[in-house]
Structure 1
């Protein structure tokens, strides 16, 4: 049954908004009137088109049209897995989750998906109306579970996958809080020294007519330039950010940029490992759910945010479709680690390709976790050393003239 978002006046003339399910817009309006409410507007919960002629969607409507967050999707997936595994039909499961949904946009999405399922669409097809809430790889995994008759098991694997990603994201975010705060405070101290302390010291020394050390002259020049040009610097940085964001929206430029990142020393190897682990995890879930290999490769490529990696996987897919072995095609891409290639080859020979992909993902994720731990442990002292060095240079530029005065006085 379709879902509609409504705006109506109650008996006291107060404006209220909410969600209602009905067979049609006419039936929804009739249901609202039966509740002693005067409907002002209706819009489909799926496409958010205003039903009342002549009405456009306001800015606040667009702001409220949120998509499911990664955490919300994780929770919904886990709950769907449990309820469907207990024998509850998909439509009833979605309706129950919508009733329990704490946020308006979550109810909107779930009710719209339930409406399409009630009309006879499969769950994966119903989710296509919300591509940003349910990514392509997510829908592909759900479709594979529906075809294999094990939707609850696939949803359970998906929930495990999403929970792992959420845990890693939360861990990295939590570990970066202190270094970020430290960096902001240190940069604030540097800015304070350069804009207030150094100019005051410069006034004192220049009035004495003494020859200042080279380091002090450089700091005074930088301070003067910063005081004069800081609005232009901020504007330039803002323009650079805007231009960069707009440029990276171009597919060709984004592909070149992603390819450049993965070729960088240290960082490039880590990024390749991350993409390979995500690829292996996705392939393991899809193949164990019953997806055929070319479709699994296509979905796994869409799961990546790195366009250079997507191009590599699409090349692998084209090679597999011509009859080449998967392990050989992956090796020719020169992206994946040797351990994963060995395990994929073993999986092809034994017929347990999905399991081998899953084991390879487990191994690579352990290595990534270790690398993240080491990197975060080194980040904090690195920031302290770098910004501490800047502060030392500034303080030294102030102390050198004072020491020079003391030497002249003693002489």
Structure 2
């Protein structure tokens, strides 16, 4: 019988991990749900390239955020227009962009026809419908305001998608230019520079230091070209190894927030995600402790996640939210003060939503500024690197021409 590894949250808000045996992914999900656990991740321990297609047929693979965002908006619009929830899910299953997503939605629609609640049916597919979605739908079903919750979910995922796209767009150009620079330099060193080496040897002149350096680098890359690839891959492999441990992930994420320029962008994105997620959960009447635990899991930064986990412990000891956050450097003073006002006025979800709106707008503006600033800088950097190589190659030729004129 297949074994599944899971990460979940208990009813008390504590993290729980382990393995269980079940015939299918859906049965494994049902077992965990029956134990009162909220599933964060659930995967087959024997998952491999040979079994991955089988898992896809069960609808176990994740759906792109873009597709899921569109689904949430369509579902909210249809349900608000008077179409029943079962019919809405069934219709959307026929027009889902991917086959796995269509299959999952069709299964959910069939279960709902048999009397299963939408939240319970969706919870059986944790890789697609995460704990935030499931908990907010469950709250909407219990409170009789499912239309409002679906609308809030649609807005939540639209904001999350837009913020991610802005950050990605700011990273795309420097990444492409860095790849182009590596390719151009590698091509010149391996295929262009060697053609000048023999000519330099026949000149019988002393080569300038920059030229000698370029020639030695070219010889090294020709003889040990595989080392170049290892040097390029080494940082990524090292980071992957470090991120395998909880302490490593936390330290890397903390350093990530301190990186010049981009660190501020990632920090603002994390604060926006925290505020938007917690606001949505709090407005959905998800208990404070469970909400903090869920947010700490999905904030996508281990350093901030640890702060939120400790915040939960501080609140259990009787402290307010703003007090412990005020003692932490990762949360800006403006955020802390607005949370304090929200606690005092009983409008914490509104204040968190305002914080999210502010930081999402700030991320958009900063991403646009970075793109306009990085484009000329990256072009200048590429031109400088290529220019240094060309100048190092051409300098001996100019020197020889001067000697011939004399």
Alignment TM-score, normalising by the size of structure 1: 0.79
How many residue pairs get aligned? The number is 363
The residue that corresponds to 2:342 in the other structure is 347
Residue by residue over 1:278-321, the C-alpha shift from the partner in whole angstroms, topping out at 9 and shown as x without a partner, is 11111221222222322221222222111121111111111112
Q: Structure 2 CA distance, aligned partners of 1:153 and 1:74?
A: 16
The residue that corresponds to 1:124 in the other structure is 119
Residue by residue over 1:202-261, the C-alpha shift from the partner in whole angstroms, topping out at 9 and shown as x without a partner, is 210112222111111011000000111112332454466445434423333222221222
Q: Structure 1 CA distance, aligned partners of 2:139 and 2:324?
A: 23
Q: Structure 2 CA distance, aligned partners of 1:176 and 1:239?
A: 21
Q: Report if the CA contact (8 A) 1:80-1:152 is conserved.
A: no
The residue that corresponds to 1:4 in the other structure is none
User: How do 1:277-292 residues align onto structure 2 when only pairs under 5 Å count?
Assistant: 277-292=272-287
Q: Which runs of 5+ in 2 are unaligned?
A: 1-22, 30-47
Q: Which structure has the larger Rg?
A: 1
Moved more, 91-100 or 296-305: 91-100
Distance 1:71 1:314, change over 3 A: same
SS state of the match for residue 333, structure 1? coil
Q: Structure 1 CA distance, aligned partners of 2:200 and 2:256?
A: 47
Q: Structure 1 CA distance, aligned partners of 2:65 and 2:113?
A: 26
The residue that corresponds to 2:372 in the other structure is 377
The residue that corresponds to 2:289 in the other structure is 294
Q: Structure 2 CA distance, aligned partners of 1:294 and 1:48?
A: 26
Distance 1:368 1:187, change over 3 A: same
Distance 1:388 1:327, change over 3 A: same
Q: Structure 2 CA distance, aligned partners of 1:109 and 1:44?
A: 14
Distance 1:321 1:365, change over 3 A: same
The Cα of 1:116 is off from its aligned counterpart by: 4.0
SS state of the match for residue 323, structure 1? coil
Pair 1:67-2:62 in alignment: yes
The residue that corresponds to 2:227 in the other structure is 232
Q: Structure 1 CA distance, aligned partners of 2:78 and 2:120?
A: 20
User: How do 1:110-259 residues align onto structure 2 when only pairs under 5 Å count?
Assistant: 110-173=105-168, 179-235=174-230, 237-238=232-233, 241-242=236-237, 244-259=239-254
The residue that corresponds to 2:266 in the other structure is 271
The Cα of 1:323 is off from its aligned counterpart by: 1.8
Residue by residue over 1:358-404, the C-alpha shift from the partner in whole angstroms, topping out at 9 and shown as x without a partner, is 11111122222221111111111121121211111111111211121
Pair 1:403-2:398 in alignment: yes
Q: Which runs of 5+ in 1 are unaligned?
A: 1-42, 50-55
Q: Report if the CA contact (8 A) 2:273-2:299 is conserved.
A: yes
Alignment TM-score, normalising by the size of structure 2: 0.80
Distance 1:175 1:354, change over 3 A: closer
Q: Report if the CA contact (8 A) 1:316-1:333 is conserved.
A: no
Q: Structure 1 CA distance, aligned partners of 2:112 and 2:355?
A: 36
Moved more, 259-268 or 288-297: 259-268
Moved more, 122-131 or 154-163: 122-131
> What RMSD, in angstroms, separates the aligned Cα atoms of the two structures?
2.8
User: Comparing both chains, which one has the higher relative contact order based on Cα–Cα distances under 8 Å and sequence gaps of 6 or more?
Assistant: 2
Distance 1:174 1:366, change over 3 A: closer
Moved more, 210-219 or 317-326: 317-326
The residue that corresponds to 2:13 in the other structure is none
Q: Report if the CA contact (8 A) 1:124-1:140 is conserved.
A: yes
The Cα of 1:143 is off from its aligned counterpart by: 2.5
The residue that corresponds to 1:34 in the other structure is none
Distance 1:59 1:337, change over 3 A: closer
Q: Structure 2 CA distance, aligned partners of 1:81 and 1:254?
A: 36
